[in-house]
Structure 1
Amino acid sequence: MHLDLLVLSRIQFAMTIMFHYLFPPLSIGLGAVLVFMEGMYLKTKDPQYEAITRFWTRIFAANFAMGVATGIVMEFEFGTNWAAFSRYVGDVFGSALASEGIFAFFLESGFLAVLVFGWDRVSAKFHFFATLMVAMGATFSAIWIVVANSWMQTPRGFHIVGTGLAARAEITDFGAMIFNPSTLNRLTHTLIGAYILGAFFVMSISAYYLLKDRHIDFARKSFKTALVFGTVMSLAAGLTGDLNSRMIAHYQPAKFAAIEGNFHTEKGGTPFSVIGVPDEKREKMHYEVAIPGMLSVLMYGKLDKPVPGLDQIPRGDRPPVIVPYMSYHVMIFIGTYLVGLSLLACFLWWRGTLFKQRWLLWIFVVSVVGPYLANEAGWVTAEVGRQPWIVYGLLRTSEGLSRSVQASQVLGSIIMFIVVYALLFAVWVYVLNDKISHGPDAPHDPPANTTAGDVLAVHVGAEDPAGYSMTASTDSWKEGGDRDGAEEKGRD
């Protein structure tokens, strides 16, 4: 059996990055939710909000650890499987990844210990500051990764040094490299997708508690807070998605034609393909449901202006169609579903019947899968739609491979990754299940003031002078919280 090095290397990188991408969006989304919830605690002084933030902080920490562990692998892959690509983009990626380390990793890791272990050692205001810094660090990390990837989509601010195999891109304008034409559109859409995941993750677990009549007051406050956040972000995703599509149509017309299933440039208006099955050999759509002229209206505001199809692109520069078309439409369908679900929940909340609808709570329990799939589908759309280029218009994917790696070695590493990642995923699920089963702890009163010694004690792991245990829980508080929630449920 012939082993294709290019295919195996692409499979390996896709597998490792898609597994890794299960975790960073949740860290970014939960980080924003933590800031919102702890801000509510500072504003209202309601100890329930403090307990809420403590609980979601533990979930955040477990997820953050998985993100770090799985992200390191990809940096090694750049040097092993994609050495020619690394040499070509080293100047660009080196500056972006160095900026991530300076502006994101040090900020995030520096305050993470205070966020997780500093509850009973620092004041409420200082802890909120630490929470804000960790959330900002997660966001800055996303910014620099998206900058590097966006440069691969729409490269700017560089020139080529050398020729042939020795050619490489060298930055001439750092600002133009950062703010290349796709950075801002892709960044806002990526962050909003992460915020949606964080909100629906919180609502999923909160709905589960409500269905099981556990931690009712905690679950209601968590659900309502996340619902407001998730509704706003779901609506915003539609706007950023539209802006992103327009950007792609302008700078990457081949990708745009592929994700829209637009094989031929129409004489009149171009229809919007709602659903269908692309046939690349015959260059047509099967079982298609389309809205006549709608794509022209969405792109140009005119019913009769044609949108360029794949027939305007040389065959050697065309991406595959079926994968980006399907992933793009999966993302759209899920986004529409999440908007409808969020608005329905808001309407029932306004009517005062939200938590009486057990069927709706069950839907929220399982709907967390939707944002996960949408985030992964967005990545697939962006990366597969860019093919056959690894740096759009400059370096083909086949030219970025390492010359010294054999296909059998890549296959062996794929098998190894499958085993290791399956074990890691099992551990992650076990830890999450353990923390969710345990539920929230009793709130503690933090110190009124913070000293330098308090912060240092957090980092060196000193004993808590107040004698509190971070995993301590009082049954009487849980019962009281559930009893208060049950009374509120009866009044609803």
Structure 2
Amino acid sequence: MDVLDVSRWQFGITTVYHFILVPLTIGLAPMIAIMQTVWHVTGNVQWYRATKFFGKIFLINFALGVATGIVQEFQFGMNWSEYSRFVGDVFGAPLAFEALVAFFLESTFLGLWIFGWQRLPRAVHLASIWLVAIGVTASAYFIIAANSFMQHPVGAHFVSRGRAEMVSFWKVITNNTTLAAFPHVVAGSWLTAATLVAAVCIWWMARDMARAKKLRDGDEVPAQGGSVTPTDGSTDAEADALEKDAATLFRPVTRFSLWVMIVAAVILVITGDVQGKLMFEQQPMKMASAESLCHTEKSASFSVLTIGTQNNCEHVTRVIEIPGVTSFLGTNNFNSTLRGVEELQQEQEARFGPGNYKPNLFVTYWAFRAMITWALGSAVVALGALWLTRKKRVVTSHRFALLCLWLTPTPFLANASGWIFTEMGRQPWVVAPNPTGDPNIHLTVQQGVSHHSAGMVLATLIIFTLLYGSLGVIWFLLIRRYVIAGPLKHDADPAEDRNPYDTDSDPHEPSETEQLSFAY
């Protein structure tokens, strides 16, 4: 492999790894804020316990997301310096806003939220987590605005120094590609976080009910961390406590998560349709490749299954297809004509000169289908849990609970597949030409890569892969540890807010809430 191949592999690996963490952060922050709001309004301590429980998972994920995100941005200057030189004046602006506005907002108020339990007034503490949720969502917007410029460059013009220069920051951040992609990405993040929360709660619900049954049957049951142990030590009282947790803690949070999943799914379908139609206009080669539409067709068929999809159309065999559906998806007209890969290749050769302007058909075609297929895992969790928790029922099926845990990675994989499709389908462009924009603003990956030796980039690729692999294991083990531990017992009795004007306590013996800690 040459330096271009290794640089693309490195960027792809670090990007996909980072985006495993990002959707959970974006989706979990507002869910935790809603949980804490319910506790603040109703005083129901079970929602306080849920807030603290899933807050730990959020913090673990956020910390690793920050670490991997820093490396992600540095790559633009290290491995893709020619790209940065060409569009840095434009691309850097939304990234700067992401750091100065969104990241500072979320990190500052996350610190207040972590250390502010019983130190800040409850309303101020609640506002902190809402500002974190706003911050992570704003962060997503600015990142997507930067990425959308690569997909559809607007708000800039080409200058004589061989660079793109921004003429309107407003046009850059209100790019129609951004406006279509942002709700799609956020909805995917909500689906990811809600699936994880629902799966964990379903597992705990089934676990508590199974333990309660064993206690009533007189079987020996080992201690666990999640439930509130009664003070009298009786097995019936402990079984009652377990059943109460299942019914009043895990079931309500499960139902809340399921409704988040339903809302997210509806938004995903709508925004996905909008994005698809937009891409047929802006990047027709990407969408033609996604459907293995090799030649221009009227009433173009939707490919359910295509085999032999290689990086050229000679090996493509469409096995199962539905007539007219691709034309409808692209234009809302079953009889419209869509250009194929080969005709688009000829058009781009005529416009930009000789070269291969086709993306990898195999990756583009299957990544698009993987994105949709993996999302069905969340649908299984949602439909099954809605049925099993109807009419105030709780989940007792251990098999279904395990199935939900096994399906938890599916929305993560769907998000990753979506980004692989988005970025690989744009190839060979790192800045795709805008059909109606400045004709000089475009850049191929070959033109954007740094002039390093392949060996140096390969060395850093190996180091990053090993480091990220280690961090991935740590991430998984930490989340697994706290999921198994469950909501802490002392969270069943939240401490009152500390009164800063209380003079009765001994100043030499600070209370537990006065210690600077994670408050966990």
Q: TM-score, normalised by structure 2?
A: 0.83
Verify the 8 A CA contact 2:312 2:361 in the aligned structure 1: no
Q: Does 1:438 align with 2:485?
A: yes
Q: Does 1:303 align with 2:339?
A: no
SS at match of 2:335: coil
State the AA in 2 paired with 1:11: W
- Determine the structure 2 residue equivalent to 1:151: 149
Q: Does 1:317 align with 2:348?
A: no
SS at match of 1:22: helix
- Determine the structure 2 residue equivalent to 1:480: none
The within-5 A match list for 1:389-468 is 389-393=429-433, 394-403=442-451, 405-441=452-488, 442-443=490-491, 444-445=493-494, 447=496, 466=513
Q: 1:271 is matched with which residue: 287, 293, 301?
A: 301
Relative to structure 1, the CA distance from residue 157 to residue 182 in structure 2 (aligned partners, 3 Å threshold; closer, same or farther) is: same
Q: 1:168 is matched with which residue: 135, 155, 163?
A: 163
Q: 1:366 is matched with which residue: 399, 403, 406?
A: 406
Q: Does 1:387 align with 2:427?
A: yes
The CA deviation at 1:302 is 2.9
Relative to structure 1, the CA distance from residue 235 to residue 334 in structure 2 (aligned partners, 3 Å threshold; closer, same or farther) is: farther
CA distance in 1, matches of 2:109, 2:51: 16
Relative to structure 1, the CA distance from residue 346 to residue 368 in structure 2 (aligned partners, 3 Å threshold; closer, same or farther) is: same
- Determine the structure 2 residue equivalent to 1:193: 188
CA distance in 2, matches of 1:109, 1:279: 45
Relative to structure 1, the CA distance from residue 308 to residue 228 in structure 2 (aligned partners, 3 Å threshold; closer, same or farther) is: same
CA deviations on 1:152-196 (whole Å, 9 max, x unpaired) are 100001011234xxx111110111111122001111111111111
- Determine the structure 2 residue equivalent to 1:46: 44
SS at match of 2:304: strand
CA distance in 2, matches of 1:402, 1:104: 29
The within-5 A match list for 1:26-175 is 26-163=24-161, 167-175=162-170
Q: 1:251 is matched with which residue: 279, 282, 290?
A: 282
RMSD: 2.4
SS at match of 1:313: helix
Verify the 8 A CA contact 2:118 2:498 in the aligned structure 1: no
CA deviations on 1:61-117 (whole Å, 9 max, x unpaired) are 111100011111122211111110011111112211211122201111111112222
Q: 2:257 is matched with which residue: 196, 221, 226?
A: 226
Verify the 8 A CA contact 2:114 2:519 in the aligned structure 1: no
* Greater displacement, 6-15 / 280-289: 280-289
- Determine the structure 1 residue equivalent to 2:272: 241
CA distance in 1, matches of 2:483, 2:396: 22
- Determine the structure 2 residue equivalent to 1:489: none
The within-5 A match list for 1:342-381 is 342-353=382-393, 355-381=395-421
SS at match of 1:20: helix
Verify the 8 A CA contact 2:377 2:407 in the aligned structure 1: no
State the AA in 1 paired with 2:168: D
CA deviations on 1:293-339 (whole Å, 9 max, x unpaired) are 11123333333222221122126322221101101101112234433
* Greater displacement, 212-221 / 43-52: 212-221
- Determine the structure 2 residue equivalent to 1:293: 324
Verify the 8 A CA contact 1:319 1:384 in the aligned structure 2: yes
CA deviations on 1:104-143 (whole Å, 9 max, x unpaired) are 0111111111222211212222111001011111111111
State the AA in 2 paired with 1:269: S
Structure 1: unaligned runs, 5 residues or longer: 455-461, 474-492
State the AA in 2 paired with 1:258: S
CA distance in 2, matches of 1:130, 1:472: 15
CA distance in 2, matches of 1:78, 1:468: 42
Percent identity of the aligned residues? 33
CA distance in 1, matches of 2:109, 2:377: 36
The CA deviation at 1:466 is 4.2
Relative to structure 1, the CA distance from residue 31 to residue 291 in structure 2 (aligned partners, 3 Å threshold; closer, same or farther) is: same
State the AA in 2 paired with 1:158: A
Structure 2: unaligned runs, 5 residues or longer: 209-225, 228-244, 347-355, 434-441, 503-508
SS at match of 1:419: helix
Verify the 8 A CA contact 2:57 2:479 in the aligned structure 1: yes
Q: Does 1:204 align with 2:199?
A: yes
SS at match of 2:378: helix
SS at match of 1:159: strand
Q: TM-score, normalised by structure 1?
A: 0.87
Relative to structure 1, the CA distance from residue 109 to residue 432 in structure 2 (aligned partners, 3 Å threshold; closer, same or farther) is: same
CA deviations on 1:267-308 (whole Å, 9 max, x unpaired) are x31111122232443445336321111112333333322222
CA distance in 2, matches of 1:468, 1:175: 46
CA deviations on 1:10-67 (whole Å, 9 max, x unpaired) are 0011011111111111111110211121121122210110111011111111111000
Relative to structure 1, the CA distance from residue 298 to residue 354 in structure 2 (aligned partners, 3 Å threshold; closer, same or farther) is: farther
Verify the 8 A CA contact 1:150 1:180 in the aligned structure 2: yes
- Determine the structure 2 residue equivalent to 1:486: none
The CA deviation at 1:341 is 4.1
SS at match of 1:386: coil
CA distance in 2, matches of 1:80, 1:69: 17
